[in-house]
């Protein structure tokens, strides 16, 4: 084991400080390559890892009938212009002794080409040297596989060249797509001379678990951001409001804000707050729960009518997050059916007449619709007013809506 100097350890600590700065997955490869030079000298560095734009999903090969998932990976370089000088082909993988060593042994530690091939042997490998290393002006390469697998856990119990040949590989200067899931990360450092030291190897091996954890942190942050974005999209589509346990407003979607301004314009309120009517309704619901009301029972809806269109407000409990969710839905004009009115204790004829009153029909029009005399309709109206304790049409409609738990603005 190579002994590291105090200066080496100082460099490692500075690198880890930079590495542990949380970044989005799309920024992680560039970030890692930009700070890796703090601890390892490199003329050209590559990193392969899970594609950042695939957070939350996998690409599928439409020609693959086996249902296998394809992991898209990004090949990032510290000098993107260098990639245009070289060719990464299947033959390159087959001729790279570091790749073959990892696949056959599962040894994920840092290794260099010069561990396996002398210069003469390397020059004879056309794809490895002639097509890749020589155009870059490089003579050696050290690779580190950053994975959760324990060292010496082979990808395959026996190295199978035919298996490698059967890999579906698509390579461009910026991406690679394989039908086998790649290791989490592969860091590949190149030099124009054969002078990688045991100190370099020891530092790379020392950094591997820290790089993996930083990578997983970036994955987690990216996944959370993706889920948060999807949640916001869902909430906005449903016109939602998130309420804290104490009844204060936590979050209001743009669409919910527009609906509240439309239906409560007569009673101004502050942005990201609730109109007084909604506050009163919410407080009553919360008060009922506080005194032991059945939380599993359906919560009465708040219906607000304006110009005969209806805003329906529903309340849901989010016990896991100790908060409430209000959803707002705009519905077509409310139609007070005969059956609904009869449930309030009105007779069939009274329900029919009140139904047409709600539709702004005059007594004369109602008498023609129901084939009744004007006097009979008038008498039924008086009975309705007496039953509801009111003395006119508007008051009767308001009283019925209140009994139904509906607020009305005209």
Residue where a domain terminates, one of 296, 331, 366: 331
Tell me if 354 sits within 8 A of 341, measured CB to CB: yes
Tell me if 56 sits within 8 A of 95, measured CB to CB: no
Q: What is the pLDDT of residues 262-316, one digit of tens each?
A: 888 766 667 767 888 888 888 888 887 766 656 555 567 787 877 667 888 888 8
Residues 50 and 178 in one domain: yes
C-alpha to C-alpha distance for 27 and 52, rounded to whole angstroms: 8
Residues 217 and 271 in one domain: no
H or E, element range at 388: helix 374-388
Q: Which residues make Cβ contacts (< 8 Å) with residue 326, sequence separation at least 6?
A: 240, 241, 242, 243, 256, 278, 282, 313, 314, 315, 316
Residues 135 and 26 in one domain: yes
Residues 209 and 141 in one domain: yes
Cα 379 off chain centre by: 62
Q: Is the pTM of this model over 0.85?
A: no
Residues 324 and 349 in one domain: no
Burial 326-339 (b: 16+ CB within 10 A, else e): bbbebeeebebeee
Residues 67 and 194 in one domain: yes
Identify the CATH number of the domain in which residue 261 sits: 3.30.450.20
Residue 1 included in any domain? no
Residues 49 and 191 in one domain: yes
Tell me if 140 sits within 8 A of 112, measured CB to CB: yes
C-alpha to C-alpha distance for 55 and 218, rounded to whole angstroms: 11
Residues 325 and 349 in one domain: no
Other CB atoms within a 10 A radius of the CB of residue 360 amount to 10
Identify the CATH number of the domain in which residue 92 sits: 3.30.450.40
The torsion of the CA quartet 44, 50, 51, 52, rounded to 10 degrees, works out to -100
The half-sphere exposure of 88 on its side-chain side, counting CA atoms within 13 A, is 16
Residue 59 included in any domain? yes
Per-residue pLDDT for the chain (410 aa), expressed as one digit of tens each?
Answer: 678 899 999 999 999 999 999 888 888 888 999 999 999 999 999 887 644 333 333 333 334 433 333 333 557 788 878 877 877 777 787 889 998 888 888 889 999 999 999 999 999 999 999 999 999 999 999 999 998 876 666 555 444 555 444 443 444 433 334 434 445 688 999 999 999 999 999 999 999 999 999 988 988 888 888 888 887 777 677 788 988 887 788 888 888 988 988 888 766 667 767 888 888 888 888 887 766 656 555 567 787 877 667 888 888 888 777 888 898 988 876 666 777 777 777 888 888 888 888 777 888 998 999 899 989 999 989 888 888 888 888 788 778 877 776 654 43
Residue where a domain terminates, one of 272, 303, 331: 331
Identify the CATH number of the domain in which residue 384 sits: 1.10.10.10
284: domain range?
238-331
C-alpha to C-alpha distance for 315 and 77, rounded to whole angstroms: 52
CA separation, residue 156 to residues 143, 165, 183 (Å)? 19, 14, 13
Residues 342 and 245 in one domain: no
Choose among 52, 55, 80, 34: nearest CA to 174: 80
Residue 232 included in any domain? no
Query: What domain count does the chain have?
Result: 3
Tell me if 214 sits within 8 A of 25, measured CB to CB: no
Residue 142 included in any domain? yes
Residue 375 included in any domain? yes
Residue where a domain terminates, one of 226, 251, 285: 226
DSSP states along 2-26: PPPPHHHHHHHHHHHHHHTS---GG
Residues 140 and 274 in one domain: no
DSSP states along 200-265: HHHHHHHHHHHHHHHHHHHHHHHHHHHHHHHHHHHHHHTTEEEEETTS-EEEE-HHHHHHHHHHST
Residues 38 and 151 in one domain: yes
Tell me if 87 sits within 8 A of 131, measured CB to CB: yes
Q: What is the pLDDT of residues 172-228, one digit of tens each?
A: 433 334 434 445 688 999 999 999 999 999 999 999 999 999 988 988 888 888 888
Residue 64 included in any domain? yes
Residues 148 and 35 in one domain: yes
């Amino acid at each position: 084991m190579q002994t590291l100097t105090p200066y080496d350890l100082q460099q490692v600590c500075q690198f880890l400080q930079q590495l542990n700065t949380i970044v989005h997955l799309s920024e992680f490869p560039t970030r890692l390559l930009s700070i890796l030079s703090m601890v390892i000298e490199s003329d050209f560095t590559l990193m392969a890892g899970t594609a950042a734009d695939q957070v939350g999903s996998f690409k599928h090969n439409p020609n693959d009938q086996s249902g296998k998932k394809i992991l898209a990976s990004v090949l990032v370089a510290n000098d993107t212009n260098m990639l245009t000088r070289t060719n990464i082909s299947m033959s390159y993988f087959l001729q790279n002794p570091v790749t073959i060593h990892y696949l056959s042994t599962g040894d994920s530690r840092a290794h260099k080409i010069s561990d396996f091939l002398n210069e003469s042997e390397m020059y004879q490998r056309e794809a490895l040297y002639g097509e890749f290393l020589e155009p870059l002006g490089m003579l050696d390469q050290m690779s580190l596989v950053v994975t959760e697998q324990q060292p010496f856990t082979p990808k395959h119990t026996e190295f199978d060249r035919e298996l490698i040949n059967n890999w579906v590989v698509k390579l461009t200067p910026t991406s690679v797509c394989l039908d086998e899931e790649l290791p989490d990360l592969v860091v590949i450092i190149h030099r124009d001379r054969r002078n990688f030291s045991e100190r370099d190897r020891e530092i790379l091996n020392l950094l591997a678990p820290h790089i993996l954890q930083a990578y997983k942190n970036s994955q987690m942050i990216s996944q959370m951001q993706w889920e948060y974005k999807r949640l916001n999209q869902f909430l906005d589509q449903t016109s939602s409001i998130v309420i804290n346990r104490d009844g204060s407003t936590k979050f209001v979607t743009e669409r919910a804000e527009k609906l509240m301004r439309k239906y409560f314009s007569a009673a101004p309120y502050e942005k990201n707050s609730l109109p007084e009517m909604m506050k009163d309704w919410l407080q009553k619901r919360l008060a009922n729960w506080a005194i032991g009301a059945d939380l599993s029972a359906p919560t009465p809806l708040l219906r607000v009518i304006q110009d005969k269109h209806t805003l329906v407000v529903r309340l849901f409990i989010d016990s896991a997050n100790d908060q409430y969710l209000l959803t707002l839905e705009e519905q077509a004009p409310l139609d007070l059916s005969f059956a609904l009115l009869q449930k309030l204790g009105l007779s069939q004829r009274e329900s029919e007449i009140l139904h047409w009153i709600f539709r702004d029909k005059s007594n004369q029009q109602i008498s023609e619709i129901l084939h009744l005399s004007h006097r009979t309709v008038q008498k039924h109206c008086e009975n309705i007013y007496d039953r509801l304790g009111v003395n006119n049409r508007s008051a009767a409609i308001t009283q019925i809506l209140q009994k139904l738990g509906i607020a009305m603005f005209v």
